[in-house]
Amino acid sequence: MTQSLELISEHRCFDGLQRYYKHESQAIGLPMRFSVYLPPSAVKDPAQAVPVLFYLAGLTCTEETFMIKGGAQQFAARHEIMLVTPDTSPRGAGAPGEDDNWDFGTGAGFYLDATQEPWSKHYRMESYVTRELFDLVTSELPGDAARAGIFGHSMGGHGALVLAQRHRDQYRSVSAFAPIAAPTRCPWGHKAFNGYLGPDQEAWKQYDASALMAQSDCPFPEGILVDQGLADNFLAEQLYPEAFEEACKKAGQPLTLRRHEGYDHGYYFISTFMEDHLDFHAQRLK
């Protein structure tokens, strides 16, 4: 391990290792934290590269939330996949009002590179996730850059669907739980995009999964998996899975969109279908 990564803690888990790291981020310009689950084979032979799956968490979450609540490690161990979860925003950026709202600013970076002051100085989550963090875990850790996938929940589901399309050559698989699938249409998206990207709504489309897909030609021929709970309080106003479904039809993109009666927006829902998502990615990353 090089000195650029500071190991905060390490925990034995399903014969692998759950780790938490801190480092000085050049993309963000501040210290950033992320979590890693190393499967058993990566613990036994750190020189052997393994498939790597990035998970992007939702509003208010941290690098810990998914690893504690998602129940994914047992399935990652079975498939010998490394899991990586970044924080959801910079911390302590000092931007005026960054801690005033739960759905904008701290804990709500929306996985984009902000273009508007004061956010553009530190809120560069797209560059952080797709370049800096990706390079770190595929060079200083045993992630295989040629076998990388991405998935996420809510704001992180938006991030996964968007970043997978914007960096098509980097990710071989993509899935999402209850994603903000058309942020240009919903209050969360309007608030975030106005703040981070400014009033030009044409510029917003570059970070709208449905808008990107509608202009594509089957970017993921092996399919995309999305799970959505029908008892999700945010479904009607914020998520718009039907918009992404329609865009996939237009693009000829195979999509499995599963709607589940009785399930809400939280991690009880996510953990219920986590095994399916790890199986989905394993099939495409092996």
Query: Is 154 known to be catalytic?
Result: yes
Distance CA 52, CA 17 (A): 14
The residues, any chain, with a CB within 8 Å of residue 5's CB and separated by 6 or more, are 21, 22, 23, 136, 140, 141
Neighbouring CB atoms inside 10 A of 78's CB total 15
The residues, any chain, with a CB within 8 Å of residue 175's CB and separated by 6 or more, are 149, 151, 160, 224, 225, 226, 227, 277, 280, 281
The encoded tokens of residue 174 equal: 């993509």
Query: Among 87, 113, 208, 232, which one carries the catalytic annotation?
Result: 232
Query: Among 25, 35, 89, 154, which one carries the catalytic annotation?
Result: 154
**Is the CB of residue 246 less than 8 Å from the CB of residue 237?**
no
**Is the CB of residue 150 less than 8 Å from the CB of residue 220?**
no
Which ranges of the chain would DSSP assign to H, the alpha helix? Answer: 40-44, 65-69, 73-79, 125-127, 134-139, 155-166, 187-197, 201-204, 209-214, 241-251, 267-272, 274-285
Query: Among 23, 122, 153, 265, which one carries the catalytic annotation?
Result: 265
**Is the CB of residue 210 less than 8 Å from the CB of residue 182?**
yes
**Is the CB of residue 258 less than 8 Å from the CB of residue 228?**
yes
**Is the CB of residue 48 less than 8 Å from the CB of residue 42?**
yes
Neighbouring CB atoms inside 10 A of 17's CB total 17
Give the number of residues written for the chain.
Answer: 286
Distance CA 218, CA 223 (A): 9
Query: Is 232 known to be catalytic?
Result: yes
Query: Is 265 known to be catalytic?
Result: yes
Active-site residue list: 154, 232, 265
